[in-house]
Structure 1
Amino acid sequence: MTEYSQPDTQQPYNRADEQPTTTRPVMQPDNPYASTRGSITSKQLPAFDETMIQKYNRSGPRYTSYPTALEFTPIAVELETKILKNREARAPLSLYFHIPFCRHLCYYCACNKIITKKNSDSGDYLQYLIKEITHKRRLLSAPEGSSKPVVKQLHLGGGTPTFLRDEEMVQLWQFLQTQFEFLSDDEGDYSIEIDPRELSGNTLKVLRDLGFNRISLGVQDLDESVQIAVNRVHSAELIENVLTEARELGFHSINIDLIYGLPHQTPETLEQTVRRIIEMAPDRLSVFNYAHLPERFKAQRQIKEADLPSPAAKLTMLGNTINTLTEAGYQYIGIDHFAKPDDELAVAQREGKLHRNFQGYTIMGDCDLLGFGVSSISQIANANSRYILQNDTDLQAYQATIDAAQHNLAIMPAVKVIKTSIKDRLREYVIMNLLCHDYIDFKDVNQKFGIDAITYFIDEIAQLGAMQEDRLIDMDAAGIRVLPKGRLLARNVAMVFDEYLDKKHKNRFSKVI
Structure 2
Amino acid sequence: MSEQLNWDPELIQRYNRSGPRYTSYPTAVEFKVVENDQVEKDLLSQRNQDVPLSLYLHIPFCAHVCYYCGCNKIVTKDRSKSEPYLDLLKAEIDRKAELLQGHPIVEQMHWGGGTPTFLSDEQMTDLMDHLRKRFTFSTDDSADYSIEIDPREVRPNTLKLLREIGFNRTSFGVQDLNEKVQQAVNRIQPESMIRKVMTEARELGFRSINIDLIYGLPHQSQQTFAETLDVIIDMSPDRLSVFNYAHLPERFKPQRRIKEEDLPSPEEKLAILGNCITTLTKVGYHYVGMDHFAKPDDELSRAQGDKVLHRNFQGYTTHGDCDLIGFGVSSISQISDCYLQNSPDINVYEEAINSNHFPVVKIITTDKDDLIRRQVIMELLCHDQMIFSELDQAFSIDSRAYFTEELSQLSPMVEDALLEISNEGIHITEKGRLLVRNACMVFDTYLNANIIQSYSASADASSTTNRPRFSKAI
TM more than 0.5: yes
The answer as to whether partners of 1:45 and 1:331 remain within 8 angstroms in 2 is: no
Question: Quick check: 1:132 aligned with 2:92?
Answer: yes
Per the alignment, residue 438 of structure 1 pairs with 384
C-alpha offsets along residues 142-174 of structure 1, whole Å, 9 cap, x if unaligned?
Answer: 2xxxxx321000000000000111001100111
The answer as to whether partners of 1:185 and 1:213 remain within 8 angstroms in 2 is: no
9, 16, 28: which one pairs with 1:69?
Answer: 28
Per the alignment, residue 390 of structure 1 pairs with 341
The answer as to whether partners of 2:3 and 2:281 remain within 8 angstroms in 1 is: no
Give the 5 Å matches for 1:483-494: 483-494=429-440
1:509 CA displacement: 1.1
Q: How many Å separate the matches in 2 of 1:447 and 1:262?
A: 46
Q: How many Å separate the matches in 1 of 2:368 and 2:157?
A: 49
Per the alignment, residue 159 of structure 1 pairs with 114
More helix by share: 2
1:185 CA displacement: 5.6
1:300 CA displacement: 0.2
Q: How many Å separate the matches in 2 of 1:194 and 1:426?
A: 36
Per the alignment, residue 237 of structure 2 pairs with 282
SS of 1:197's equivalent?
helix
Q: Which runs of 4+ in 1 moved over 3 A?
A: none
Per the alignment, residue 104 of structure 1 pairs with 64
The answer as to whether partners of 1:108 and 1:290 remain within 8 angstroms in 2 is: yes
Q: How many Å separate the matches in 2 of 1:182 and 1:45?
A: 38
Higher normalized contact order (CA 8 Å, seq sep 6+, divided by chain length): 1
For structure 2, the 5+ residue unaligned runs are 455-467
Q: Which amino acid is the alignment partner of residue 66 of structure 1?
A: Y
1:220 CA displacement: 0.2
Q: Which amino acid is the alignment partner of residue 67 of structure 2?
A: Y
1:76 CA displacement: 4.2
The answer as to whether partners of 1:370 and 1:378 remain within 8 angstroms in 2 is: yes
1:55 CA displacement: 1.3
Per the alignment, residue 334 of structure 1 pairs with 289
The answer as to whether partners of 2:72 and 2:330 remain within 8 angstroms in 1 is: no
The answer as to whether partners of 2:348 and 2:359 remain within 8 angstroms in 1 is: no
SS of 1:467's equivalent?
helix
SS of 2:469's equivalent?
coil
Give the 5 Å matches for 1:228-307: 228-307=183-262
The answer as to whether partners of 1:185 and 1:211 remain within 8 angstroms in 2 is: no
1:112 CA displacement: 2.7
Count of residue pairs brought into register by the alignment: 458
Per the alignment, residue 450 of structure 2 pairs with 504
The answer as to whether partners of 1:374 and 1:394 remain within 8 angstroms in 2 is: yes
Question: Quick check: 1:60 aligned with 2:60?
Answer: no
Give the 5 Å matches for 1:34-45: 37=1, 43-45=2-4
Per the alignment, residue 447 of structure 1 pairs with 393
The answer as to whether partners of 1:60 and 1:511 remain within 8 angstroms in 2 is: yes
Give the 5 Å matches for 1:188-199: 188-199=143-154
1:454 CA displacement: 0.7
C-alpha offsets along residues 174-213 of structure 1, whole Å, 9 cap, x if unaligned?
Answer: 1111111101162310000000001110000000001100
SS of 1:152's equivalent?
strand
The alignment-based identity, stated in percent, is 58
1:48 CA displacement: 1.3
SS of 1:500's equivalent?
helix
Q: What TM-score results when the alignment is normalised by the length of structure 2?
A: 0.95
Q: Which amino acid is the alignment partner of residue 285 of structure 1?
A: L
Q: What TM-score results when the alignment is normalised by the length of structure 1?
A: 0.88
The answer as to whether partners of 2:340 and 2:360 remain within 8 angstroms in 1 is: yes
For structure 1, the 5+ residue unaligned runs are 1-36, 38-42, 143-147, 406-410
Instruction: Name the Cα RMSD after superposition.
Output: 1.0
Q: How many Å separate the matches in 1 of 2:31 and 2:446?
A: 12
1:45 CA displacement: 2.0
The answer as to whether partners of 1:284 and 1:340 remain within 8 angstroms in 2 is: yes
C-alpha offsets along residues 275-330 of structure 1, whole Å, 9 cap, x if unaligned?
Answer: 11000000000000101111111000000001000000001001000000000100
Q: Which amino acid is the alignment partner of residue 70 of structure 2?
A: A
Q: Which amino acid is the alignment partner of residue 45 of structure 1?
A: Q
SS of 2:99's equivalent?
coil
